[in-house]
Chain A
Amino acid sequence: MTVVTATKRSAQGAPRADGALRPPDRGAWFLVLPALIPILVLSVGPLLYGITLAFTDAQSGRTEPTKWIGGLNFQDLLHDTLFWESFRIGLVWAVGVTVPQFLLALGLALLLDQDLRMRWLARALAIIPWAMPEVVVGVMWRLVYNPDAGVLNETLRDLGLGDGRDWLSGLGTALPAVIVVGVWAGMPQTTVALLAGLQNTPRELHEAAAMDGAGAWRRFWTVTWPTLRPVALAITALNLIWNFNSFALVYVLTSGGPGGRTRLPMLFAYEEAFRYGQFGYAAAMGCVMVAVISVLLALFLVGRLRGGDDA
């Protein structure tokens, strides 16, 4: 930041404090409008429209006009056991993916922070899940889980651990099986975020703690963790939200089956809207999801404030 000594005043009369940030000026509009209009028309507008739809009986392919029905959709949702079941599955999925993924990614980030020989290889491989289309990730793991031609059961057979099973169709195994895929798919982003956080760890402190005879475990908790915490909280909150909203992976893996055991909220709402044409009802589901996500976001913001670090 450079400080301009002669404080000039712009048209709006705001004093100029530095060279990097200038007060707004009317000339900026021609820079902003090309992006602003699409954002308003295709993002903010639809969002508000979607919230109002939740209070109507909008359906697809109907000739008579849509009516305002107040909170009726929400009342129906309250009694919709299938929806709450999918909601519960969504939370189990979000937590079940986010927590193990965080621990695994933290381990990988700490390893990659050391000067090991194979780091370039790790970097090359670590981006595979990130770069791939989600649909392909789903397809790939279907091949892994395939009961006969899949590598998982073949490995179990080789190790003499029985014949394996049809993981994605078993009532008890389907959700854990898709959770493993979710963990795999998000590893790169989480690892990169944590690695970025590790860059902030003061090396000298590490050295000093080591000189004082602190073991690796102690060094992690006293030196590394305090600097990593804001990033860790942020990425965890974001992952919870992203996972709660996820669709493509599970759609390809199980389509929500068997018997709805992996029907995430987004799959449920998608079916409701585009298979049964219940636009208003699906919009109400979306609103309930937003409410839950808002709570998660609030936690995220509180975490950032308490971290006090503008990372």
Chain B
Amino acid sequence: MRTSTGGRVGQYAALLGYLVFLAFPFLWLVSTAFKSPRELGSLHPTWIPRDPTLDNFRQAFDEQPLLRAAGNSLLAALGAALIAVLIATPLAYVMARHRSRLSRAATGWVVVSQAFPLVLVIIPLFLVLKNLRLINSQAGLVMVYVVWALPFALWMLVGYVRAVPAELEEAAAVDGAGRLRTLVSVTAPLLTPGIVATGLFAFITAWNEFFFALVLLKTPEKQTLPVVLTHFIGAEGVADLGPLAAASFLATLPSLVVFAIIQRRITGGMMAGAVKS
């Protein structure tokens, strides 16, 4: 592509504009997290805190049970990711390898489940979980998160299975390996990177989730991090800005780290544009 110099300058200016738009709210959050209460009350806020302090972090931990909430989030996210991957991988395998009514139905469910307003699902779920005594419990939340993470997990995994040549499995079968043995010793190892990426994605999905947690968890000692964060905002919408920013910043770090690890797989060569076939 030949572009004139003027065009290039325009392109860089536009890109810079995008970078500022995408980055500035996060930078402001980080800046606010380190400001002193006096500075937060003054009328002329600055980008760089004038006397940076860790007081907001201390205060956040004093005001809300953040550690426990993080533990709850971790438990729910790990449980959901592990179970989702365990049950999604075999189904994805069948969907990728076999043409059948079942595969079509599963694909249909993956598409349709993305489109349903959650309120229609949450009321019956609430009633069912209540009858099972699973309201306000991590177990109930994990069950919901597993099913909620499945559509995207299946979609990712089907792609990974298709990338494994079926001939390899057939060769193993010809050598006399049984079905299960073929899956475990031939297919699974090749799928491992894809399975890990899918698990990590399910982890973030659950770690970040708010609506189900808000409805299903009643008491502060059971609640996950996103729900506890909203407790910093008072009934009148008045928020204690410093601690709120500090806690939000901490809650985001795991998501950003995990996402940085898997984003290449998700964005599917988003900017591999330089080497295009």
Contact assessment for B22 and A128 in the assembled complex, using a CB-CB cutoff below 8 Å = yes
A144 at the binding interface (Cβ < 8 Å): yes
A251 to B214, CA, bound (A): 11
Chain B residues lying within 8 Å of A120, measured Cβ to Cβ, are 271
A172 at the binding interface (Cβ < 8 Å): no
Task: Enumerate 21 A-B pairs (CB-CB under 8 Å) in ascending A order.
Answer: A31-B93, A34-B90, A46-B124, A114-B1, A114-B273, A122-B15, A132-B208, A139-B29, A139-B244, A139-B245, A142-B233, A142-B239, A150-B45, A151-B47, A244-B117, A247-B118, A251-B210, A251-B230, A252-B233, A279-B123, A279-B127
A29-64 toward B: CB 8 Å interface, digit per residue (1/0)?
A: 011101110110011111101110100001000000
Contact assessment for A149 and B120 in the assembled complex, using a CB-CB cutoff below 8 Å = no
A71 to B196, CA, bound (A): 48
Give min CB distance, B8 to chain A, whole Å: 8
Chain A residues lying within 8 Å of B93, measured Cβ to Cβ, are 31
A58 to B123, CA, bound (A): 10
User: Known contacts being A43-B109, A111-B14, is A121 close to B25, with CB within 8 Å?
Assistant: no
Inter-chain residue pair count (beta carbon < 8 A): 305
A125 at the binding interface (Cβ < 8 Å): yes
Chain A residues lying within 8 Å of B233, measured Cβ to Cβ, are 142, 252
B238-277 toward A: CB 8 Å interface, digit per residue (1/0)?
A: 0101001100100110011011100100111111011010
A255 to B119, CA, bound (A): 16
* A119 contact from B86, B128, B271, Cβ within 8 A: B271
Contact assessment for A19 and B170 in the assembled complex, using a CB-CB cutoff below 8 Å = yes
* A21 contact from B1, B97, B116, B259, Cβ within 8 A: B97
Q: Name which of A77-85, A91-99, A224-232, A263-271 contacts chain B.
A: A263-271
A25 to B14, CA, bound (A): 55
* A133 contact from B29, B226, B258, Cβ within 8 A: B226
Give min CB distance, A302 to chain B, whole Å: 15
Give min CB distance, B239 to chain A, whole Å: 7
Interface size for chain A: under 10, 10 to 19, 20 to 34, or 35 or more residues? Answer: 35 or more
Chain B residues lying within 8 Å of A285, measured Cβ to Cβ, are 119
Chain A residues lying within 8 Å of B144, measured Cβ to Cβ, are 42
A123 to B15, CA, bound (A): 11
A11 to B128, CA, bound (A): 41
Please count how many residues in chain B sit with their CB below 8 Å of the partner chain's CB atoms.
Answer: 101
A148 to B45, CA, bound (A): 8
A49 to B120, CA, bound (A): 9
Find the B residue at minimum CB distance from A216.
B7
B82-110 toward A: CB 8 Å interface, digit per residue (1/0)?
A: 00001110110110011110100000010
B113-156 toward A: CB 8 Å interface, digit per residue (1/0)?
A: 11111111111110110000000000000011011001000100
A210 to B7, CA, bound (A): 15
A223 at the binding interface (Cβ < 8 Å): no
Chain B residues lying within 8 Å of A233, measured Cβ to Cβ, are none
A125 to B144, CA, bound (A): 31
Contact assessment for B120 and A286 in the assembled complex, using a CB-CB cutoff below 8 Å = yes
Contact assessment for B114 and A238 in the assembled complex, using a CB-CB cutoff below 8 Å = yes
Contact assessment for A19 and B115 in the assembled complex, using a CB-CB cutoff below 8 Å = no
A115 to B270, CA, bound (A): 13
User: Known contacts being A2-B167, A28-B98, A122-B18, is A35 close to B91, with CB within 8 Å?
Assistant: yes
* A151 contact from B45, B91, B122, B204, Cβ within 8 A: B45
B20-36 toward A: CB 8 Å interface, digit per residue (1/0)?
A: 01111110110010000
The chain B residues found within 8 Å of chain A, CB to CB, are 1-3, 7, 11-12, 14-16, 18-19, 21-26, 28-29, 32, 40-45, 47, 86-88, 90-91, 93-94, 97-100, 102, 109, 113-125, 127-128, 143-144, 146-147, 150, 154, 162, 166-167, 170, 179, 204, 207-211, 215, 225-226, 229-230, 233, 237, 239, 241, 244-245, 248, 251-252, 255-256, 258-260, 263, 266-271, 273-274, 276
A299 at the binding interface (Cβ < 8 Å): no
A20 to B161, CA, bound (A): 10
A283 at the binding interface (Cβ < 8 Å): yes
Find the B residue at minimum CB distance from A34.
B87
The chain A residues found within 8 Å of chain B, CB to CB, are 2, 19-25, 27-28, 30-32, 34-36, 38-39, 42-47, 49-51, 53, 58, 104, 107-108, 111-137, 139-144, 146, 148-151, 154, 157, 169, 184, 187, 192, 195-196, 199, 203, 206, 210, 216, 238, 241-242, 244-245, 247-248, 251-252, 254-255, 257, 265-266, 269-270, 273-274, 279, 282-283, 285-287, 289-290, 293, 296-297
Chain B residues lying within 8 Å of A28, measured Cβ to Cβ, are 94, 98, 100, 102
Contact assessment for B115 and A111 in the assembled complex, using a CB-CB cutoff below 8 Å = no
* B94 contact from A31, A114, A122, Cβ within 8 A: A31
User: Known contacts being A2-B167, A53-B124, A286-B119, is A133 close to B255, with CB within 8 Å?
Assistant: yes
Contact assessment for A192 and B270 in the assembled complex, using a CB-CB cutoff below 8 Å = yes
Contact assessment for B87 and A43 in the assembled complex, using a CB-CB cutoff below 8 Å = no
Chain A residues lying within 8 Å of B256, measured Cβ to Cβ, are 128, 131-132
User: Known contacts being A149-B40, A149-B45, A154-B44, is A35 close to B237, with CB within 8 Å?
Assistant: no
Contact assessment for A206 and B1 in the assembled complex, using a CB-CB cutoff below 8 Å = yes
